[in-house]
Amino acid sequence: MVDNYKRKYDVLAEELAARGIDIEKVKSRLKAQKIETPSWGYSDSGTRFGSYKQPGSAVTIEEKLADAAQVHKFTGIAPSVAVHVLWDFKGANYKDMKAYAESRGVRIGAINPNVFQDREYAFGSITNENAEVRNKAVAHMLHSIEIANAVDSDILSLWFADGTDYPGQGDFRRRKAYAEEGLKTVYNAMPAGMRMLIEYKPFEPAFYHTDFADWGMSYSFARKCGPNAHVLVDLGHHFTGQNIEHIVAFLIDEERLGGFHFNNHKYADDDLTVGSVNPYELFLIYNEIVKAEDAPNSNPPIAYMVDQAFVTKSKIEGMIQTIMVIQAAYAKAMLIDRKTLLEAQLSHDIVTAEMCMQQAFNMDVEPLLKVVREEMGLAPDPMLAFRDSGYMAKIQKERGTRAGAGGLGA
């Protein structure tokens, strides 16, 4: 069957022009979009019950970077790779890794310290009552800054599993003071231009309280550190039904939205593919991002990063699918009839306001995205092009099924 996406694109362009939307501006922004993929997304992963191995999954940092390069090759908008220090850099020469990444057409992105995996952190890392443990966690983060300098990364991405399981186990305010002290020490060691992103999570692995439980706590810690500390929003780290787009808008207005970890959840932190359960939520989040791009504001550049576990999905294909879903959400958010929406909001016309959102969300943007990719010198369908490339069959044959992939539980 012939794909008539170019004719559909022409029809869409006419419709948008009639509503005063500049499709060339939309295309330009889509071409400039950048999404960072995670090294651990290319490795075998699993659940607390065990890890699940797939033939061809990456084990070494070189394999992870090579696989990430395939995602960028076919999507054109995934040029950087987030790394986890303990999983990726054991015994590695950091400058060699930087050079290897660049030789494959990507670069190393956010540096993720690991202060949750070692047994000493069972009762907390930077909030532990034991000063030696706190110092160990801080020392690891300071070492991560050195790695960032060596690979030319400007983002230190922090997530803490610190918390307690039972009432009375710890003192909330004392642990908060420990956390502030540790974060400030790390922040003060960062070079000019480096940013600290502070993630949050309401529960798990701690089930009574976590020390960085929500966006407000991360926001408070960030403000106390300084202007280069910001909040990292992981889409899966929220209670069911929480209004994430409201949080995003609030943080943008406060100039503290540092970045995203894209994923999706049905129950809790399921780490499902972004948009797989609630694509409308992703669209509404991008609506707030597009509004921020359209209006002058002083929020820092937003780091867009993927953080999800492909336990049963093919790793590289799952990542390509992820990038395509994010592209579509961004495109749809740019097609909202802003003039009509504003008029409806000012006149309290709730039905028309909501219909503006639904109309954009229901638009078929695939013809637009295919034209954009073609203009970027890419195949219109990244998934089909990757499958036709033979890369997956090649690495499955070369690597086989192995132990020792790179994430927790693998």
Alpha-carbon distances, residue 98 vs 26, 27, 89, 154 (angstroms): 33, 31, 11, 13
Q: What is the pLDDT along the chain (410 residues), one digit of tens a residue?
A: 457 999 999 999 999 999 999 999 999 999 999 999 999 999 998 777 778 899 999 999 999 999 999 999 999 999 999 999 999 988 778 889 999 999 999 999 999 999 999 999 999 999 999 999 999 999 999 999 999 999 999 999 999 999 999 999 999 999 999 999 999 999 999 999 999 999 999 999 999 999 999 999 999 999 999 999 999 999 999 999 999 999 999 999 999 999 999 999 999 999 999 999 999 999 999 999 999 999 988 999 999 999 998 999 999 999 999 999 999 999 999 999 999 999 999 999 999 999 999 999 999 999 999 999 999 999 999 999 999 999 999 999 999 998 765 555 44
**pTM recorded for the entire structure:** 0.96
Handedness of CA 203, 204, 207, 208 (dihedral sign): negative
How far is the C-alpha of 127 from the C-alpha of 108, rounded, in Å? Answer: 29
- Is 342 inside a domain boundary? no
List Cβ neighbours of 214 (8 Å cut-off, separation of 6 or more). 200, 202
Residue 189 belongs to domain spanning: 33-336
How far is the C-alpha of 41 from the C-alpha of 274, rounded, in Å? Answer: 13
- Is 246 inside a domain boundary? yes
DSSP 171-208: -HHHHHHHHHHHHHHHHHHSPTT-EEEEE--SSSS-SS
How far is the C-alpha of 21 from the C-alpha of 37, rounded, in Å? Answer: 31
- Is 343 inside a domain boundary? no
How far is the C-alpha of 334 from the C-alpha of 254, rounded, in Å? Answer: 23
- Is 366 inside a domain boundary? no
| Helical segments of 35-92, H only | 61-75, 85-88
Q: What's the structural domain count of the chain?
A: 1
Phi first, then psi, for residue 2 (nearest 5°) are: -75, 130
Contact by Cβ (8 Å): 109, 36: yes
- Is 387 inside a domain boundary? no
List, in sequence order, every beta strand (DSSP E) within 298-370. Answer: 303-306
The CATH number for 293's domain is 3.20.20.150
SS3 318: helix
- Is 363 inside a domain boundary? no
Q: How many residues does the chain have?
A: 410
DSSP H or E stretch at residue 261: strand 257-262
- Is 67 inside a domain boundary? yes
- Is 359 inside a domain boundary? no
